[in-house]
Structure 1
Amino acid sequence: MYYSSCNDSQLLSFVGFRNELAMLSTTRALLQSRLQAIKSVALDRQNATWWQKFALMYRDGQEDILNYTLSAIENMKQRTIHRMMHALNNNIHPEKAPFISILNPTYCQAVLEEGSSETNSLITLDNVVITLKQMLDKDKAFKDAVTQVIDDAEENEDVLFMLALIRERANHHSRWKFFFDLTTSSEQFHDEESQMEMQELHASLFPALTEECPDIFPAHIFTVDALLWADFILNNYSIDNPLAIVPL
């Protein structure tokens, strides 16, 4: 919607960090599947005919190209993560949500030009995104509570993530406060179907969780509107493999 009538090609070269990470992850997965297909076949190289040798030369060349491209993708990912880290360390945040360049040209220009494009230090993705593990590890009380009241954490990962996001948003000292402040008005974008789903989810969890752990799940924080916000964040700011929120 935002880019459909864009005539400025400079605004199309970089969409946003979520798009960059998703593109790199998808491309990497596609190329790795191709590389695995090449490596999965056992070949008799010693008794190959002359035409099979030429085929093997081509096959080896394809493997080299795939390995080189995968290495290039990893370097691009590291440059992207370093730019994100630069933005976080220097409190350079987008002005508007969603965090796309066409709405935040000044922010995107700053992180692309000033962010370190090449560095020898390794920064993991966990340092610049929000993950469920990250939130649970730093909040033992919440982790213990959800472990007791929610069965099969893996199957209910989305629900746990939403509850963790709501709790983290209530933390006024959160590292991601700027992100929560910029996205808090997102509830208005939900349709009737989403509202019904979140109302049903809320009814299945509350007031049972509040009665079980009132200090962890206060009713005034874990509302239907809060679930709508968390659901919106998961649907619009997340990437897969691993599941993470991109707050930049």
Structure 2
Amino acid sequence: MAESNGTHIKALFDWVTEHGGSASKVQIEAVPGVGNGVVAKQALTAGEAYIHIPPELIITDKVCRSILPADSELEGRPLMCAFLVHERFVNKQSFWKPYIDVLPKEFHTPLFFSDDELQFLDGTPAGSSVGEMREKYMKEYEQALEAVEETVLPRSVFTFNTYLWAVTVCTSRSFTDDLVKDHEDARSARNAILLPLMDMVNHYPQSKVTWRHGTSGISLVTEVGLAAGSQALNNYGPKSNEELMLGYGFCIAGNPFDFFHVKLNYASDPLYMQKKQVLEATGLGELRHCITRAAMTTDLLPILRVLAMNEADMHYLGAAQREDLEDCGLRVELNARHLLLLLLGQQRCKFEAVEANLPNIDTENTRVARMYRKGVYEAIISTIDELVSSVRQLGALGSDLARAGKHALPKYIATGGASCDVVLQQGNTTDSSPNKRARTESPVEQFIDTAVITEESFVGDAAFAEAAEQVDVDEDTLLALFLIRALFDPASVWHAAVKRLEEFKHPMLVAEQSEQYADMLMELYEIHSALFPVLSETFADVFDAGQFSLDRFLWAAGVVSALDVRVAVDGEGEAVNGVCIV
């Protein structure tokens, strides 16, 4: 809050008292790091009113309209801005002069930042908002300029700069008229009002205050006791530093409501139309989401699950209900988090790149902007940390399931699967199957070792590994061949897990879907015909001709496609791809 001249403050208190208001229990004092604040002159008890404003001192839409002709259609914020400029610059005998005199003459919102100062918003959501705000306010200004006659508000006074001043008075000091409406009027259109003196009470999140109104006016009441000399605080609601900076020109260190936006874009996904239909059918069509330090929006993870799904998931999901997206299997849970980690990692890198190149400027505006940047960055980092922790927890679940010979696969892939949510809550520490590495490794490394078939898994089958080195095919083809090998080798550590997948059919193998997958099937036919019978003749002990038939190869390729998982060992960074068998 900008500091006001002591004489003007005294005049404001006298004016409020003269017109039936009351503020004798408080005074305006300088508050370190804040500017001016409303401070208790005496101890206040819980439930005690400390400022009362009568109806005649409330600036309403009706009051603002008094400067315009009766037939003027100007309303809302443009009307209030025109009124404020008129009362400050034109009406020297204004009834509202004691209030106008204490209003800040300058603000520290980004609307008033220099070009150098605006660089401190680069890479943040607020950075793009400033230009949009100026465009919006220019349209409002032009609307007001057309509605207000030159004789009422000269163009030399009513400039875009003075309009921006008035706009910021509105955004930083106005309240909604819900505060002064009776119950029967509560559903009518909401308009902004100004409450002189009351608007000097500073904001702090979760402060306990109550508003009381009646025919005699409106009172501000503390819900907690205040010692003499302590600052009386208001609560504007759960506002982030972005909202506070853009609308009020200040930020709060460690603001619990700091957030950033993520916008999901899957337009290039080959399954775009199918996923779009599922998202819209389940009420999840919104792709712009807010993430705070504490939590993601409740819709974000279900949406990410859909975006992480492949052809098999989409085919068997069918006409999905919202509850169908709550437990889609461990693989989808991990892939969904991987998608968000990739997106947040990109945002973090952009943020850090801008931070490293900011100019060496220290002004009140840049200090506000730096506090805002810090809050957004911390929200990004805390969300990444939460996701990494979640990936590790899911990794521990996956490795425990694998050791116990259990799984959390969707029903259309294998029956008898555990619910990820249930197992995560109850825990599972059974260790009954072999593990290639020590238990001292991270949960994600253990998960990859025990529950994901990758090229590294070949080391457990020396004959296959040696043959694979001499076969010039892509990774997915090698994984498909390894699945067939494990299916027919009871000695393989992967045999039991692969065996339970034997009845799974990828959509390309479902008769009515075969035409849709014609290109995919043709490619697999060509790969198989290029490999066999050559491999069976060259490595007869590895690639038994009877086992590596075309049908079995198509099945294995379908499993590789359907159970593909991406997970980074440390939760971030380059991901390991493989076949998730739990």
The verdict on a shared fold, with TM-score over 0.5 as the criterion, is yes
Deviation digits for residues 121-162 of structure 1 (CA, Å, limit 9, x no counterpart)? 832231343232332222222222121232xx6xx1122222
Q: 1:168 aligns with which of 477, 481, 486?
A: 486
Q: Secondary structure at the match of 1:171?
A: coil
Q: In 1, distance between residues paired with 2:343 and 2:407? A: 32
Please, what TM-score do these two structures have when normalized by structure 2?
A: 0.37
Q: Secondary structure at the match of 1:244?
A: strand
1:107 aligns with 2:415: no
The RMSD of aligned alpha carbons is 2.9
Q: In 2, distance between residues paired with 1:53 and 1:111? A: 47
Letter in 1 for 2:475: E
Q: In 2, distance between residues paired with 1:99 and 1:82? A: 22
Aligned to 2:86: none
Q: In 2, distance between residues paired with 1:234 and 1:96? A: 15
Q: Secondary structure at the match of 2:502?
A: helix
Aligned to 1:207: 533
Which runs of structure 2 are paired with 1:145-184 in the superposition (5 Å)? 145-150=467-472, 156-184=474-502
Unmatched segments (≥5 aa) in structure 2? 1-315, 430-439, 567-574
1:185 aligns with 2:500: no
Aligned to 2:578: 244
Q: In 2, distance between residues paired with 1:188 and 1:231? A: 9
Q: Secondary structure at the match of 2:503?
A: helix
Aligned to 1:222: 548
Q: In 2, distance between residues paired with 1:66 and 1:114? A: 29
Task: Point out the structure with max Rg over C-alpha.
Answer: 2
Q: In 1, distance between residues paired with 2:498 and 2:398? A: 17
Aligned to 1:16: 329
Deviation at 1:45, TM superposition (A): 5.9
Q: 1:63 aligns with which of 345, 364, 377?
A: 377
Q: Secondary structure at the match of 1:245?
A: strand
Aligned to 1:87: 401
Distance 1:99-1:60 versus aligned 2 partners, 3 A rule = farther
Instruction: Report sequence identity in percent.
Output: 22
Q: Secondary structure at the match of 1:243?
A: strand
Aligned to 1:98: 412
Contact 1:83–1:115, Cα closer than 8 Å, also in 2 = yes
Aligned to 1:26: 339
Q: Secondary structure at the match of 1:135?
A: helix
Q: 1:198 aligns with which of 524, 539, 543?
A: 524
Q: In 2, distance between residues paired with 1:232 and 1:184? A: 11
Deviation at 1:204, TM superposition (A): 0.8
Deviation at 1:3, TM superposition (A): 6.3
Aligned to 1:234: 560
**Larger strand share, 1 or 2:** 2
Deviation at 1:35, TM superposition (A): 0.3
Deviation at 1:172, TM superposition (A): 1.2
Contact 1:135–1:168, Cα closer than 8 Å, also in 2 = no
Unmatched segments (≥5 aa) in structure 1? none
Deviation at 1:82, TM superposition (A): 1.7
Q: 1:2 aligns with which of 304, 317, 341?
A: 317
Q: In 2, distance between residues paired with 1:217 and 1:32? A: 42
Deviation at 1:25, TM superposition (A): 0.8
Please, what TM-score do these two structures have when normalized by structure 1?
A: 0.82
Contact 2:464–2:542, Cα closer than 8 Å, also in 1 = yes
Deviation digits for residues 169-207 of structure 1 (CA, Å, limit 9, x no counterpart)? 222133333432222123474125244332221111111
1:122 aligns with 2:442: yes
Distance 1:199-1:231 versus aligned 2 partners, 3 A rule = same
Q: In 2, distance between residues paired with 1:230 and 1:164? A: 9
Deviation at 1:94, TM superposition (A): 5.4
Distance 1:68-1:95 versus aligned 2 partners, 3 A rule = closer
Letter in 2 for 1:131: I
**Larger helix share, 1 or 2:** 1
Distance 1:116-1:66 versus aligned 2 partners, 3 A rule = farther
Distance 1:99-1:113 versus aligned 2 partners, 3 A rule = farther
Aligned to 2:348: 35
Letter in 2 for 1:126: I
Q: In 2, distance between residues paired with 1:61 and 1:206? A: 59
Deviation at 1:246, TM superposition (A): 1.4
Distance 1:147-1:39 versus aligned 2 partners, 3 A rule = same
* Number of residue pairs aligned between Structure 1 and Structure 2: 237
1:133 aligns with 2:438: no
Contact 1:198–1:228, Cα closer than 8 Å, also in 2 = yes
Between 1 and 2, higher relative CO (CA 8 Å, sep ≥ 6) is seen in: 1
